[in-house]
A and B are shown apart, each in its own frame.
Chain A
């Protein structure tokens, strides 16, 4: 079962490998702002498209990487299902392959899992043009190293993703969003306390003194949690959550301007609120802090703080990128990265520099 679109892609990669020419892998092009440098000949994956297999009662969907996310989500919605990691879209036309290659997850992540948690298998074309398949289309599979999850979030530097199999989740039967007026510290404490209780939490967002908490699940569970948590009801909450997910929220609009680079700080959920010289929006039960940098923001201090809080800092969106986009790795880890890169892309032609200046 060969796909001419994948064969064409293999031929391009083989040609590039022969001449050591860099390739820049592109789907919908909605995340070009993300990551370090973009260079090389464009390798468009959008011709590799279509849902390959979807049986809702198996809870698994398999689709080609160039399939638009919108199409996948519409197909799943019709069957009462969804992608549990709530992938963000930063523009129209984003593809499944881009969602998995970037590995980014939306508001539901701390409660349902990240993109990598839902990936069951991938098809890839490696840096020598070979079509390979890792993982599978079943829920439980420990045959071989977990290369499918390794490819998730690798920004295309280990292989061109051509096909993805994902675990699906049923759409919740009920949802509600509660609002609370709290300080940042109170908000962080509260969401962590709630996280330790059997409550159907599915998202949190704190911004400018207001904490929004989304509940998802069986109608009875949502109703009892609502009574237990208190707060006031936010009507039409879907608009809030999709704007936070897709960075259309007012906070991100200001951050996208050239003057204010946007930092993504992934830290321990209990990390205390710390003034880093800009405005913050806090998601993921405290574990994700977006920082719209201000004049006082110091990149080195941001990185030191995130690392001290058990995490890392990414220069997510910025007009100029004077520092490495992704948090620098300790030398032992960096050496492992280089050797893995050499295993899957020996000529270093796939998205060079996008994840690290070192490769």
Chain B
């Protein structure tokens, strides 16, 4: 519950329909895409102008009310999980594309604009917005910036941080500030890079300028089957070693392949231990040459079958399986939990082998989809929340995979963010001195700690309590402790 005077001040800023406080109205905001964690906020505000957002922030700042900014609510790490004493600041009404400059290849958009809507609007100019997280039909660009979202094409075209020119935002006290500009760099520290992936802890984004790219003339995808996961991994190394940066490079293991084939009937080989999807884009001549080389390298690496798309319909069909991997797994299991670690690609065989062992140990099935080009692994742990103890076993299994990601030199989150989900894992990845600097960055922007409190960076107290084996930069901090 908000104090009545705070509620009255907020009500004075907004039309009645834009301030929700009744439990039945705030319930839809109690979680985001990570449904394992839920919390009812004290209130939800749905402003539609920057002046209203500034007013809300000033009221909350003065009254020390926590504020959790929320876009489309598709976060997979609980980044938009409400604070029970706080306000959810929904940016859903900021859905206008303000300008598209075809010559400069930029679009100025409000944060609630859907990712895909930008590309749709830019299509008339032969342009598109490159980052394409799998939730792109629903997720909003403000959330993409907050999480530094990736997608299947980021090896070649980069993450959100590489495709955003300018962010306009409000600080916790309501002051407006701009990071970046129309130019390719700006004076002073690179605060534009810092705000990307800051998970709503530093400022509330109100406007974004994104970079648009010319749509490639042509694209083709190859689907290759392997009887062994290591061979598939070696094929990825061979392609990159040959100087090719594919537009997309994805791997799925057998459980994932079987789940998606049952769902989309794309003709994926069910007997393969792993399949690779390799996409080439560019001019017609370029794609022709590159695809011939890719086919040769796949064959040399021991692919048991290779199918190259002959037209756009077939290309989309071959991709449909990968893009439907999460819902497909959702069909074969009552619940699933998506892990998001990144590893050096050479560690893939080890990580998959251990994951398979732990799958048996925990009695939980696991399907793997992998952004193979950039090392971002998404094990999907299958579980049933209604079965006694399965949630706890699932989380323990996931933590163990993330621990291994750190141990092999990787990271606990490649693209989904820390949110509330990976706070403990952060204790394992960073030393106290480093976490302290993160808190310093937070305090530089938000000294009162009101913006999305308790997310992204664990408190040192939490880490001490967590007291787990501390693997840091591949070194064991406490080598005397028994290892799992």
Do A140 and B374 touch (CB < 8 A)? yes
Q: How far is the CB of B421 from chain A (nearest CB, A)?
A: 12
Query: Measured between alpha carbons, how far is A161 from B52 in the docked complex, in Å?
Result: 42
Closest to B343 in A: A138
B184 touches A138 (CB 8 A): no
Cα distance, A143 to B428, chains bound together (Å): 11
Which stretch (A18-26, A51-59, A64-72, A249-257) binds chain B?
A: A51-59
Q: From residue A162, how far is it (CB to closest CB) to chain B in Å?
A: 13
* Interface contact A220-B182, CB-CB below 8 Å: no
Shortest C-beta distance, B398 to chain A (Å), equals: 15
Residues of B within 8 A of A231 (CB): none
Q: Residues of B contacting A138 with CB < 8 Å?
A: 342-344, 374-375, 409-411, 414
Residue-by-residue, is B82-124 near A (CB-CB < 8 Å gives 1, otherwise 0)?
0000000000000000000111110000000000000000000
**A137-B344, A343-B444 known; A333-B290 Cβ under 8 A:** no
**In the complex, how many angstroms separate the beta carbon of B225 from the nearest chain A beta carbon?**
21
Check B453 for interface membership: any CB of A closer than 8 A.
no
Shortest distance in angstroms between A135's beta carbon and chain B's nearest beta carbon? 9
Which residues from chain B contact A154 at a C-beta distance below 8 Å?
A: 189-190
Say which one of A91-99, A205-213, A308-316 lies at the interface with B.
Answer: A308-316
Please tell me which stretch of A112-120, A236-244, A291-299 contacts chain B, meaning at least 4 of its Cβ atoms lie within 8 angstroms of it: A112-120
Q: How far is the CA of A262 from the CA of B191 in the complex (A)?
A: 26
What's the Cα separation between A169 and B240 when bound, in Å?
A: 10
Query: Distance (Å) between the CB of B473 and the closest chain A CB?
Result: 6
- Which residues of A in the span 177-218 have a Cβ within 8 Å of any Cβ on B? 189, 192-193, 195-200, 217-218
Say yes or no: is A103 at the interface (Cβ < 8 Å to chain B).
Answer: yes
Binds A, one of B193-201, B271-279, B310-318: B193-201
Give A355's nearest chain B residue, CB to CB: B188
Beta-carbon nearest neighbor of A131 in chain B: B433
Knowing A59-B240, A146-B161, the reply to whether A153 touches B150 (Cβ < 8 A) is no
**Cβ < 8 Å to A, chain B residues 168-190:** 171, 175-178, 181-190
A170-B243 contact in complex given A145-B441, A270-B103, A310-B183, C-beta closer than 8 Å: yes
A347 interface residue per 8 A CB criterion: no
* Cβ-defined partner of A143 (8 Å) among B216, B345, B346, B426: B426
B220 touches A (CB below 8 Å)? no
Closest to A269 in B: B104
Chain A count of residues within 8 A CB distance of the other chain: 89
Per-position binary interface string of chain A over residues 318-359, scored 1 when its CB falls under 8 Å from any chain B CB and 0 otherwise? 000000001111101100110110111000000000011000
Q: Which residues of B contact A176 (CB under 8 A)?
A: none
Tell me, yes or no, whether A15 is within 8 Å of chain B by CB: no
**Contact partners of B184 in chain A: CB under 8 A:** 109-110, 114, 266, 269, 284, 287-288
Indicate if A142 sits at the interface (CB-CB under 8 A).
Answer: yes
Is there contact, CB below 8 Å, between B413 and A80? no
Bits for B340-382, please: 1 = Cβ < 8 Å to A, else 0: 0011111000000000000000000000000101111000000
Quick check: is B125 within 8 A (CB to CB) of the other chain?
yes
Min CB distance A151 to B, Å, is 9
Do B194 and A146 touch across chains, with their CB atoms under 8 A apart?
yes
Q: Mark B415-430, 1 if CB is under 8 A from A, else 0.
A: 1111000100010011
Instruction: Decide: B185 and A196 in contact? CB cutoff 8 A.
Output: no
Q: Give which listed residue, A134, A220, A284, A287, contacts B286 with CB less than 8 A.
A: A220
> Which residue of chain B has the shortest Cβ distance to A328 in the bound complex?
B187
- A343 CA / B286 CA spacing, docked (Å): 49
C-alpha gap A268/B200 in the complex (Å): 28
- Residue in contact with A57 in the complex, picked from B176, B191, B237, CB distance below 8 Å: B237
Interface residue? A224 (CB, 8 A): yes
Asked if B215 CB lies within 8 Å of chain A CBs, one says: yes
Residues of the B chain whose Cβ atoms lie less than 8 Å from the Cβ of A109: 184
**Cα distance A268–B186 in the bound complex, in angstroms:** 11
Q: Which residues of B contact A47 (CB under 8 A)?
A: none
Which of B171, B182, B343: most chain A Cβ within 10 A? Answer: B182
Question: How far, in Å, is B61 (CB) from chain A's closest CB?
Answer: 15
Q: Which residue of chain A lies nearest to B472 when distances are taken between CB atoms in the complex?
A: A133
Q: CB distance A196 to B126 under 8 Å?
A: yes
Closest to A135 in B: B411
User: Given A55-B346, A141-B411, A196-B125, is A221 in contact with B191 using a C-beta cutoff of 8 Å?
Assistant: no
Within the complex, what minimum Cβ distance (angstroms) separates A105 from chain B?
8
Residues of chain B within 8 A of A170, CB atoms compared: 240, 243-245
Q: Is B443 an interface residue (CB 8 A)?
A: yes
CB proximity to A under 8 Å, residues B107-153: 125-127, 147-148, 150
Confirm or deny: B392 has a beta carbon within 8 angstroms of a beta carbon on chain A: no
Chain B residues lying within 8 Å of A169, measured Cβ to Cβ, are: 245
Is B457 in contact with chain A by the CB < 8 A criterion?
A: yes
How far apart are B412's CB and chain A's nearest CB, in angstroms? 5
Q: Is the CB of A337 within 8 A of B418?
A: no
Q: Which residues of A contact B430 (CB under 8 A)?
A: 143-144
Taken together as a complex, chains A and B put the C-alpha atoms of A144 and B418 apart, in Å, by: 8
Contacts A116-B193, A219-B289 known; list 4 others, CB within 8 Å.
A110-B184, A170-B240, A220-B285, A312-B183
Q: What are 19 A-B contacts with C-beta separation under 8 Å?
A: A58-B344, A59-B240, A103-B185, A139-B375, A144-B429, A144-B434, A149-B193, A195-B105, A196-B102, A196-B103, A198-B215, A199-B214, A218-B282, A220-B283, A221-B286, A266-B183, A269-B184, A332-B175, A356-B188
> 8 nearest interchain CB pairs?
A310-B182, A311-B183, A343-B440, A220-B285, A170-B243, A149-B193, A339-B444, A268-B182
Q: Write the residues of chain B forming the contact surface with A, with a CB cutoff of 8 angstroms.
A: 101-105, 125-127, 147-148, 150, 154-155, 158-159, 161-162, 171, 175-178, 181-191, 193-194, 196-198, 214-217, 236-238, 240-241, 243-245, 282-283, 285-286, 288-290, 342-346, 371, 373-376, 409-418, 422, 426, 429-431, 433-435, 437-438, 440-445, 456-457, 473, 475
